[in-house]
Structure 1
């Protein structure tokens, strides 16, 4: 009798936590799905609002004209980007990611990080070249009318930061993403200052990478749950905040009173919005276990 009663409570106690994990896993995965969906919707909003409307194009073309006519000395701070070889830089990052993974004895995690590095950058190029276009305004503007949405430079910078956040220990992830957001902000502002990209291009590149990485994290989270529940408010904020950033940026740029004000506003907005997107997804990504070799572990280490 003693044995029977001692087994029954243990069976009950082992069942209860299992149900609790299933409920918490759904909440955590929902947060990641909301982050991916929010960034994807904001990406579409940015394209439709800035690229597919005459008012959006006119506001951004004014910024490009200002960048092209400005004295180079005023944007000396952006000069390092001109001399950087993007292919070499990305190759160096790929080697660094694998080196970190090997040092941690997590080769599979390194491969996962490389996939998350390359996939959104490839998607950005395919969308920019083959899928999306920029209708011509025929307004006599000297600004190039070819499609530049989304920015490959900002996509690459964002992907590098997120890939490093994945391959490094989870306890460093938030700090890596917070510090990396400053680098992404600088690249975004520099591409605008040099006249390479428009505000929407920079924000679109950052949103695309965030959406792809969060979607991948949602798939991983559904298979490797943790025991942390998520309240509805963070889910709603994660879902709606990216589009709010895009709408706010459009409102500020469209109401700028002069070409100089538009130019400065575009650089500041490119930096602020890009950094904000990285910081927005830092929370949902913080505890995800991306390592395929540790599928039974609930949390990343």
Structure 2
């Protein structure tokens, strides 16, 4: 997927082939479109999701308890407000400028802002939810993709892109926990349907793979190739995990697993969001200092 040469210190300097990353982005975009059609533009898809969405509303209204393992995850992020995400963008900018990596900072901000902005544009302007399931009212308004989950994913992947080599893995873990917790919370609290969170994962993967081709090396640094096959793995596995989550929640017979369908939906959304961060993080090129 990359053109490379050996650099001092044993690194493999690389400029990712644009075609490979753009092909991966096209796969994510197509998966997003299929998800929207199946879950939003068909009556069976709407009915399946609105059953759990209504259950989440009722649980929230009645003060029902979530399983402890799920409550712990959601408490990590349930207090976040939109201005917290603005602070997150500011942190990316400050970290990047302190590292004196202007182009890398712009790429990280493009990943975060692109994911967040495109999510809002799609949800509020470009996409509509027809009332095919007879659920007119608040539940019938379009909620795909999830803005909160998209923001957590975008800022998290921007942080991963910006992190120095030895800090990339810890940054990816932190970002995965935050994005996964956000994805679980918005479903569990009835803010979003499962498809909304899965769409956010596909959207973030799409934006990250597009911005990955931006030139980020400068000065005494050079770009280093992602592990072989990492781009292909992300392009295939993120849509596959999203499809698997839908099948697990909506096709598995009730009572098959010792958790409710709503809790399974929240956990599945969170796990896909977290896995998206980890998969895309491996596919992003990194910087290596020239010796």
Instruction: Please indicate the TM-score interval, normalised by the length of the shorter structure.
Output: 0.7 to 0.9
Give me the whole-angstrom Cα distance separating, in 1, the residues matched to 2:19 and 2:136.
45
Alpha-carbon separation, structure 1, partners of 2:179 and 2:42: 27
Superposed, which structure 2 residues align to 1:103-142 within 5 Å? 103-139=98-134
Q: Which range is displaced more, 180-189 or 106-115?
A: 106-115
Query: Are residues 27 and 125 of structure 1, via their aligned partners in 2, closer, same or farther at CA, if it must alter by over 3 Å?
Result: closer
Alignment correspondent of 1:282: 281
The structure whose Rg is larger is 1
Q: Deviations over 1:29-80 (max 9, x none)?
A: 4553343233222222221221122222111111111111114351465356
Q: CA deviation at 1:98?
A: 2.4
Displacement of 1:139 in angstroms is 3.1
| Structure 1, gaps ≥5 residues long | 1-18, 290-298
1:190 shift after superposition: 0.3
Aligned: 1:38 with 2:38: no
Structure 2 residue 191 is the aligned partner of structure 1 residue 196: yes
Cα pair 2:104 2:217 within 8 Å, conserved: no
Offset of 1:146 from its aligned partner? 0.6
Structure 1 contact 155–209 (Cα < 8 Å) conserved: yes
1:74 is the counterpart of 2:65: yes
Aligned CA RMSD, in angstroms, stands at 3.2
> What is the rounded CA distance, in whole Å, between the counterparts of 1:300 and 1:29 in structure 2?
23
Q: Secondary structure at the match of 1:144?
A: helix
> Is contact 2:15–2:225 with CA below 8 Å preserved after alignment?
no
8 Å Cα contact 1:184/1:274 also seen in 2: yes
Task: Return the offset for 1:106.
Answer: 2.8
Higher helix share: 1
Residue 196 of structure 1 aligns to a residue in which SS?
coil
What is the alpha-carbon distance in structure 2 between the residues aligned to residue 122 and residue 216 of structure 1?
14
More relative contact order, 1 or 2 (CA 8 Å, 6+ apart): 1
- C-alpha distance in 1, partners of 2:165/2:180? 23
Quote the Cα distance in structure 2 between the aligned partners of 1:173 and 1:145. Answer: 40
Whether 1:242 and 2:233 are equivalent positions in the alignment is no
1:196 shift after superposition? 0.4
Q: Secondary structure at the match of 2:213?
A: helix
Give the paired residue count. 270
1:160 correspondence with 2:155: yes
Q: 1:234 to 1:170 in 2, by over 3 A?
A: closer
Moved over 6 A (4+): 221-225
Residue aligning to 2:10: none
Answer 1 or 2: which has greater strand percent: 2
Normalised by the length of structure 1, the TM-score is 0.77
TM-score normalised according to structure 2 size: 0.80
